[in-house]
Amino acid sequence: MVDLKGQYEGIKDQVNTSFQEVIENAAFINGPEVQQFQKDLEDYLQVKNVIPCANGTDALQIAMMGLGLKPGDEVITADFTFAATVEVIALLQLTPVLVDVEPDTFNIDPEAIKKAITPKTKAIVPVHLFGQVANMDAIMEIAEEHNLYVIEDNAQAIGGNYHAKSGKTYKTGAIGHIGATSFFPSKNLGCYGDGGAIFTNDDKLAHTIRGIVNHGMYERYHHDVVGVNSRLDSLQAAVLRAKLPKLDLYNEARKKAANLYNDAFKDEAHIETPYRIGDCDTHVYHQYTLKIKNGKRDALAKHLQEKGIPFGIYYPIPLHQQKAYVDSRYNEADFPVTNQLVQEVLSLPMHTELDNEQIDYITGTIKEFLNS
């Protein structure tokens, strides 16, 4: 699904040199590489504060801790996403409120958000799923009307652009009150282990979060807030510093591959290709996810497995049906889109090193099967 070895070849010299410098300097935690990466990412995102941390799940948890959310507060998020988004809500003894998604973008449905708001609602967590930016104008309007926080889960869409109704263009993750991302190796901007970051334009909130990620300390052995141990190490920051200047090129390579897939599938009755809002820069294709119609998804998946073609089914079970998050408040009738998507979605290989020959083989295999 991802060719990290091929991508490494293009940055090998810089990464190896930086690794050696980190080892020789022995500044493994919060060293110069981390500090410089933080500044580089602030410049790229055009956001005032980036706080690196240990992974993307921590980033979401720390964001909620920084906002001072209390046990019992309700947090609305999408039913169709990876469990990390909802597990941190539960870990903090907040109340997750799952809602349906849009059938085209797969992102949280603003109308479903409106219906789910109660006096206990304190925050909304939109996920820019598979690299497609969510409808942030509508979400921010809802949040302003009801005095809610917006925490962007940007783990799958870093580098994407959102063209607001105001005419301004934002980087995903820098639109809401706070953003969180993952640098897991397979992400569009990935390191060679675990890593994450939190973004905000609120200086006071940033100050709180900087304490939280470091055991609640601003001064050594002075614990001013309840914190955790969640820091990006210098070796991972060195990888990210090498990759960040290439992120736009990496995303362009993904878009090129997506367009080749789209062209190959444009006349296929059994396939619906990924929806894209407006210009191509609103989708950075962390995943290239098809909808396979007419009940053919599982048979196609089996065929791809037999042919040795990687694929993913993201996600096979809605969060509201997961044992950990089952709740009597949920009604199956409230999740028609999600319940349909889990039966149809199938993701194909998507990375910066895909070439025409690989795409021709993948698409040819799929078309031959669906039309046989």
Distance of alpha carbon 234 from alpha carbon 339, whole angstroms: 42
Cα dihedral angle (278, 282, 286, 289), rounded to 10 degrees?
Answer: -20
Query: How far, in Å, CA of 134 to CA of 206, rounded?
Result: 24
**Is 187 part of the annotated catalytic residue set?**
yes
Which three-class secondary structure string do you get for the chain? CCCHHHHHHCCHHHHHHHHHHHHHHCCCECCHHHHHHHHHHHHHHCCCEEEEECCHHHHHHHHHHHCCCCCCCEEEEECCCCCHHHHHHHHCCCEEEEECECCCCCCECHHHHHHHCCCCEEEEECECHHHECCCHHHHHHHHHHHCCEEEEECCCCCCCEEECCCCCEEECCCCCCEEEEECCCCCCCCCCCCCEEEEECCHHHHHHHHHHCECCEEECCEECCCCCECCCEHHHHHHHHHHHHHHHHHHHHHHHHHHHHHHHHCCCCCEECCCCCCCHHHECCCCEEEEECCCCHHHHHHHHHHCCCCCECCCCCCHHHCHHHCCCCCCHHHCHHHHHHHHHEEEECCCCCCCHHHHHHHHHHHHHHHCC
Residue of 171, 187, 243, 291 marked active site: 187
* Active site (catalytic) residues: 187
